[in-house]
Amino acid sequence: MVRDSFPGLNVSYETEVFRESALSFVKEFAARNSHSEIRDDYLELTELTMLVLGSQPATIHWTAPGPIHHARWMAKLLYAIKIYLFRDQRDTFSLTKKEETQIHCFVQFGALLYTKAWTKAPLAAEAPGQDLSLWTRKVRVS
């Protein structure tokens, strides 16, 4: 596998609308915040989300793994996406079928739904409103 070529998410026809919406959002978010003081973890999350959704960002700011606290949900998603992207490198990762399925489900949820809500609420006080919006939003699938 080429280092700058990663297998993205295979989404079903039913979830394609979510992929298009999420990809459009993260591209716009990255372009709008490319020169601003965006936190490194938010920048990395948007770049990795673009990559896993099948769009190569201009640059990828790979960061070394750090500590994971239960309150740092974003770190878990960042690490899960990295594991998912490198899953075919059997000399690096040796995942069971169950682990691959679980990583796929978590990355799919994070990339298709939660990245958008997470980046819209960088302050903890804004998170409940974004969670409610995510819960009540109706998406038309035709």
pLDDT score, position 40: 75
Tokens representing 108 are 């799919």
Per DSSP, the residues of 60-79 read: ----------TT-HHHHHHH
What band does 16 get if pLDDT is binned at 50, 70 and 90?
confident
- Does residue 66 register a pLDDT over 90? no
Q: Which residue has the tokens 């990255």?
A: 30
Nearest to 107 by CA among 90, 130, 89, 82: 82
What is the C-alpha separation between 26 and 46, in angstroms, rounded? 6
Nearest to 105 by CA among 84, 90, 87: 84
Tokens representing 93 are 């990762």
What band does 5 get if pLDDT is binned at 50, 70 and 90?
low
- Does residue 21 register a pLDDT over 60? yes
Of the two residues 72 and 28, the one the predictor is more confident about is: 28
**22 neighbors 112 (Cβ within 8 angstroms):** yes
Q: What is the mean pLDDT of residues 33-40?
A: 68
**81 neighbors 46 (Cβ within 8 angstroms):** no
Q: CA 25, 26, 28, 33 torsion: positive or negative? A: positive
What is the C-alpha separation between 138 and 124, in angstroms, rounded? 24
